[in-house]
Chains A and B, each alone.
Chain A
Amino acid sequence: MNMKRILNLRIGIVLFGLLTILILFTAVSNSFAQEVAVGSATATVLTALAIASSSNIAFGNVYQGIATTIDNTDAAAGIFKVTGQVDAGISLYFQLPEYLSLSDGSSRMTVSFNSTDCSVDTTGADSPTTMNGTKGWLDGDPRSFPGAAQIGSAGTSIYLGGKVTPSLYQAAGSYSGDIILTVSYNGT
């Protein structure tokens, strides 16, 4: 008899607990529902600004006394892509190195960029080999971008070529240098 009473008590406690949880859950749900229903919110979606580089300028391995040139419409050209608010005006600015150096600075190799080493593709195609004058700004100066550059509907791609000129006595080793592209909106 005692065992049966204890069992009934336990069942009662469990049922009470479940009921309490159910009531609390309902109350919490209602409070959230009320808060959401009463409030009003306006959402402003802000676009971001992004830059990516999908391909580096690939001079690769070079040889003493033999210059290597990469055209901006070559498959080995460097590719940057800018995305953001479509049709927004952007200002682009390259900082280009004059040398590539060994990591310990003991030797340098000339790298140069001439006034036709850059193209701006407003179709955002990321395909330097298919670039032509109808897609934007072909064979321009990487130190002087067009003042009317805009972000195209699929982004704007920038293709960069250049030339490295190892000397006849260039020391063997791994040479590196930095190229910096700065982008800013000019309408804010």
Chain B
Amino acid sequence: MKKLIPDLFKNGTTSMKSIIIIITSVFVFIFEASAAVMVAPTVVFLSAQKRTDRIIVQNPSDKPSEVSIRFSYGLPLTDSLGNIKVELQDSLITDPKSATDWIQAFPRKVIVPAMGSQIIRLVARPPKDLPDGEYWTRIVVSSKETEEAAPASENLDGISTQINLIMQMAIMVKYRTGELVSNLELVDVKANSSDELIKVLLDFNNIGNVSYMGILTGTLFDADGKEISKNRVNLAVYRDMRRCLDFVKPDETYKTPYKVELFITPDGRIDVPPEDMIKGNKISYSVIVE
């Protein structure tokens, strides 16, 4: 059987009865990319029992790519309107939940040939007596075409320009230790209607010791209970978070007041291996649109 599973996908603890994670490249670049980089998986889980893992970096372009690896700290943050963004912090990280200082990657700089791939190994060296819970960092994979001089101007006295495009992907790395609890609290919900949109704002509070991962689904109904539309987003709540669900405002054939039924579940995440899900609570809630 060992010969049947390429070493690329083999985990030291993998057996026939365990889950084999197959990372596949499902992308077809429908244009000719002058530079490209692909990383899998999109989230890495380490633990006290599994302190090493690997990611795969592929270069699907027809030119060699210079890839460098570093770690940054960045959680999904939201503003008062529920807009979400990830801001990366490279230094002066004071969050005790940061694993940025004690997770390392090898190699950290490599040339990936055209249509080639490279395995990057990750190793966690956590401090002793780490409290139970989950610790976070992001592995930042940076890629650019191998250096090319700016094209010389046709005229010796001329001025030519060259922009180098550098592509970075920030992949979440989670280290877990001890007893793990996933628990989410829905603190507040507001649903408002404007000329074009119905906006539902949800305030969450993570009361577990791991990030809550799940799916948030909102379904818009009219006054007769007729379903109008549905909206669904992947949810990752690390601490407090405000998320927004938008619905296109229905036409006048639907009776008001509208109602939005909300459902949050840790089930159904296809982007996370089931054995890595710390399944938390489910939440159901209904709100009338003002």
Instruction: Give me the interface of A with B, judged by CB distance under 8 Å.
Output: 32, 35-36, 38-57, 59-64, 78-81, 83-85, 87-89, 91, 93, 100, 103, 109, 124, 126, 145-148, 154-155, 164, 166, 170-188
The smallest beta-carbon distance between A25 and chain B, in angstroms, is 15
Contact B24 A148 (CB under 8 A): no
Contact B271 A88 (CB under 8 A): yes
16 extra interface residue pairs, beta carbon distance < 8 Å, beyond A177-B163, A187-B233: A41-B20, A45-B22, A47-B24, A48-B23, A48-B27, A48-B40, A61-B159, A80-B167, A87-B232, A91-B86, A93-B86, A154-B30, A166-B159, A180-B166, A182-B170, A187-B271
Contact B35 A182 (CB under 8 A): no
Checking A35, A36, A51, A180 against B37 with a beta-carbon cut-off of 8 angstroms, the contacting residue is A51
Residues on B with beta carbons closer than 8 Å to the beta carbon of A148: 83-84, 244, 246
Please measure, in the bound complex, the distance between the C-alpha atom of A45 and the C-alpha atom of B42, giving whole angstroms.
Answer: 12
Enumerate 21 A-B pairs (CB-CB under 8 Å) in ascending A order: A39-B1, A40-B17, A45-B24, A46-B271, A48-B26, A48-B39, A49-B169, A54-B32, A56-B163, A57-B163, A61-B159, A62-B161, A81-B31, A85-B271, A103-B150, A148-B244, A174-B153, A181-B168, A182-B169, A183-B167, A184-B170
Contact A188 B272 (CB under 8 A): yes
Residues on A with beta carbons closer than 8 Å to the beta carbon of B30: 124, 126, 154-155
Checking A48, A52, A93 against B42 with a beta-carbon cut-off of 8 angstroms, the contacting residue is A48
Contact A42 B20 (CB under 8 A): yes
Please measure, in the bound complex, the distance between the C-alpha atom of A87 and the C-alpha atom of B164, giving whole angstroms.
Answer: 29
Stretch at the interface among B72-80, B119-127, B178-186, B221-229: B72-80
Instruction: Give me the interface of B with A, judged by CB distance under 8 Å.
Output: 1, 4, 16-17, 19-27, 29-43, 56, 58, 60-61, 74, 76, 78-79, 81-88, 138, 140, 142-144, 149-172, 213, 232-236, 244, 246, 270-274
Residues on A with beta carbons closer than 8 Å to the beta carbon of B161: 59-62, 100, 109, 164, 174-176
Checking B78, B160, B166, B273 against A46 with a beta-carbon cut-off of 8 angstroms, the contacting residue is B273
Residues on B with beta carbons closer than 8 Å to the beta carbon of A61: 153-155, 158-161
Residues on B with beta carbons closer than 8 Å to the beta carbon of A155: 30
Please measure, in the bound complex, the distance between the C-alpha atom of A184 and the C-alpha atom of B234, giving whole angstroms.
Answer: 13
Contact B163 A78 (CB under 8 A): yes
Checking B22, B27, B36, B151 against A44 with a beta-carbon cut-off of 8 angstroms, the contacting residue is B22
Residues on B with beta carbons closer than 8 Å to the beta carbon of A53: 33-36, 165, 167
Contact B154 A89 (CB under 8 A): no
A172-B157, A186-B76 known; A54+B42 contact, CB < 8 A = no
Residues on A with beta carbons closer than 8 Å to the beta carbon of B33: 52-54, 81
Residues on B with beta carbons closer than 8 Å to the beta carbon of A174: 149-153, 160-162
Checking A56, A146, A173, A183 against B159 with a beta-carbon cut-off of 8 angstroms, the contacting residue is A173
Residues on B with beta carbons closer than 8 Å to the beta carbon of A93: 85-88
List the B residue with the shortest CB-CB distance to A51: B167
A59-B163, A187-B236 known; A52+B272 contact, CB < 8 A = no
Please measure, in the bound complex, the distance between the C-alpha atom of A56 and the C-alpha atom of B35, giving whole angstroms.
Answer: 10
Please measure, in the bound complex, the distance between the C-alpha atom of A147 and the C-alpha atom of B83, giving whole angstroms.
Answer: 4
Residues on A with beta carbons closer than 8 Å to the beta carbon of B21: 43-44, 46
List the A residue with the shortest CB-CB distance to B148: A176
The smallest beta-carbon distance between A156 and chain B, in angstroms, is 13
Please measure, in the bound complex, the distance between the C-alpha atom of A64 and the C-alpha atom of B272, giving whole angstroms.
Answer: 54
Checking B34, B167, B244 against A181 with a beta-carbon cut-off of 8 angstroms, the contacting residue is B167
Please measure, in the bound complex, the distance between the C-alpha atom of A181 and the C-alpha atom of B156, giving whole angstroms.
Answer: 33
The smallest beta-carbon distance between A162 and chain B, in angstroms, is 8
The smallest beta-carbon distance between B141 and chain A, in angstroms, is 9
Please measure, in the bound complex, the distance between the C-alpha atom of A173 and the C-alpha atom of B161, giving whole angstroms.
Answer: 9
Contact A49 B171 (CB under 8 A): yes
The smallest beta-carbon distance between B256 and chain A, in angstroms, is 25
Please measure, in the bound complex, the distance between the C-alpha atom of A164 and the C-alpha atom of B84, giving whole angstroms.
Answer: 32
